[in-house]
Structure 1
């Protein structure tokens, strides 16, 4: 095992063993950060769903239901869809991590393949984050990265994900929040705010 870096004032220390869920969380964070903002808008999703419903049911309703009833049915559907979209957008990342939704399944499979192909990812790891960058010490290896190597990040309910660039497919470092002592989350946020750009 490599010798851990010396303690530095203001450094934040994490101890963890990366899991498939952690890696999935990082991959989802990267995907969400690169999704166009309008695709995350409840208003946009509601409009699309309402339009699709009108196209699918419009002709049938027009021919079989009186005009005012058509409007009432469509308004009811729009309200129901808007409510569903609103609820989905209010669900926390922690809840989404437990749901078998499309992106989570795909990225979960990717994470399993990565973890199986690189077993050292699951080793017990100590990471020290300070003003100079990241100092990572695992059971069989250790490495150091300056902040310039991971200039962007995104926070989720379960982790801090650091990226080598703001492009899709950039290398990721996932720092699970469970590896932090309780007061250290704010200190880590402060370090990230100083040295790394946050992705929306």
Structure 2
């Protein structure tokens, strides 16, 4: 992989990761994002609540009306769909990008004082600290998040991609120096 080394400020706080992004990485990042955004937290309770309401009303109408009609069946179906989205949404979203992840191949990320340089076979992208000023640490990754209400933009840095011993702590220190930890 080629990188524009002029953009990388190599010093004792530079951390390099090499990994293949997986659907598990994306699903965990989406769950972390949902835990730390107002929209994600609302979805966690609103979808099951609306789903339960839809199922309950649909079943009541079926029982009271004595049969399965289009509207009650639709309410039950929508309610089940909302429950499914609440339980499996991040996994389903991650599976939707599986083909793209497989084609992207190996990722090289260089984290330094100016931000994160992400290099894939087909492209490279520089993410400045201002673009994603927050981060979440999970057991398996660091997830950088944009500051908008839904944190639409995110960068996943899986810990398994860290190459040198002690670099997890160095990466955490760099992120703490430039981003707000959630």
- Contact 1:4/1:137 (CA < 8 Å) preserved in 2? no
Distance 1:177 1:20 in 2: 15
**Corresponding pairs, count:** 136
Counterpart for residue 110 of structure 2 = 128
Counterpart for residue 19 of structure 1 = 22
Distance 1:158 1:191 in 2: 17
Change (3 A) 1:159 1:35: same
Runs of 4+ displaced beyond 6 Å? none
Supply the RMSD in Å over aligned alpha carbons. Answer: 2.5
1:174 matches 2:176: no
Change (3 A) 1:170 1:121: farther
Q: So what's the TM-score if we normalise by structure 1?
A: 0.61
1:3 matches 2:6: no
Change (3 A) 1:130 1:190: same
Q: So what's the TM-score if we normalise by structure 2?
A: 0.66
1:147 Cα shift?
A: 0.7
Residue 136 of structure 2: which of 148, 151, 154 is its match? 154
Counterpart for residue 32 of structure 1 = 35
Q: Tell which has more relative contact order, 1 or 2 (C-alpha 8 A, sep 6+).
A: 1
For the pair shown, the structure with the greater C-alpha radius of gyration is 1
Unaligned 5+ runs, structure 1: 40-100
1:187 matches 2:170: yes
Distance 1:8 1:119 in 2: 28
Unaligned 5+ runs, structure 2: 43-83
- Contact 1:120/1:140 (CA < 8 Å) preserved in 2? no
Change (3 A) 1:104 1:191: farther
